[in-house]
Structure 1
């Protein structure tokens, strides 16, 4: 295989991955908007922030939030502001560094996330089933499912601690 052929194959794989991502995101977006008036980005932000914990190192600064949801800092700030205006998030100054701003999910945000999670998960499963039927995407769907299987297995392994 020549270098050009290898790059073409790589580009084809990247294109297929982009198509799979776009299809899944659009499918989930429609379901979340219809059922919960949430965008995929808003849902993702609520998920990221809900995984924080209290105590040292348990909160994310805005730049960390931007990295976690794959948005620019300005887009993340607009997203946080929208959710804050809806009462789903709150921002506060870092107690140790007054220049730092933390963001937390409110009780209302956690309730909405709990309500939206089944919609998200069912939409994701449905989109993956549809994509698996496409011969150009089926290998990627299998790879995503394999990642899930290995992370579930890894979580079970980490939870087990022999006495």
Structure 2
């Protein structure tokens, strides 16, 4: 019996699963697996609002800005917050701006700076999509709890959520 690239033997019997990595790689594998599962679940749910996970994240981050010192984020800060490169963030901002969900304007005190704000239409879409995103996140975490490798990470996410609410 020889294993094939598909993971089954020539006789059709399933091959043994790939060994689970140990040590630090095991933790990274679990974190990557959890992130991938959550993102896939959120991506599917947010399609109902014609939003991707990154678009939702960008609207959410930018909706938390405020006027005053430190109230607006520079593009590199936005890129870090939504975990994208600066060029990918700029393209994402442009797409949402084209849809009328964001607007850009020059910083009144530093003409080199460009700010990005969520428009009323963007805020309305974010408000409409937030319950969907929250429910999908809860579902994804509940599903992840069925995998023993992911339980400690799910518990950590839940602890972080509780701490943020305090």
Q: What secondary structure sits across from 1:130 in the alignment?
A: helix
Q: What secondary structure sits across from 2:23 in the alignment?
A: helix
Distance, in Å, in 2 between the alignment partners of 1:141 and 1:127 is 10
Q: What secondary structure sits across from 1:115 in the alignment?
A: helix
Query: Would you identify which runs of 4 or more consecutive aligned residues in structure 1 move more than 6 Å?
Result: none
Counterpart position of 1:41: 54
Counterpart position of 2:112: 99
Q: Tell me, which stretches of 5 or more residues in structure 1 are unaligned?
A: 1-6, 156-163
**Residues 19-34 of structure 1 correspond to what in structure 2 (within 5 A)?**
19-33=33-47
Distance, in Å, in 1 between the alignment partners of 2:138 and 2:82 is 21
Distance, in Å, in 1 between the alignment partners of 2:155 and 2:73 is 33
Greater alpha carbon shift after TM alignment, 138-147 vs 107-116: 138-147
Distance, in Å, in 2 between the alignment partners of 1:96 and 1:54 is 12
Q: Tell me, which stretches of 5 or more residues in structure 2 are unaligned?
A: 1-20
Q: What secondary structure sits across from 1:83 in the alignment?
A: helix
Q: With structure 2 as the length reference, what TM-score do the two structures score?
A: 0.85
Offset, 1:103: 0.3
Counterpart position of 2:82: 69
Task: Please state if 1:126 is matched with 2:135.
Answer: no
| Alignment coverage as a number of residue pairs | 146
Offset, 1:55: 2.2
Higher helix share: 1
Task: Please state if 1:115 is matched with 2:128.
Answer: yes
Structure number with greater Rg is: 2
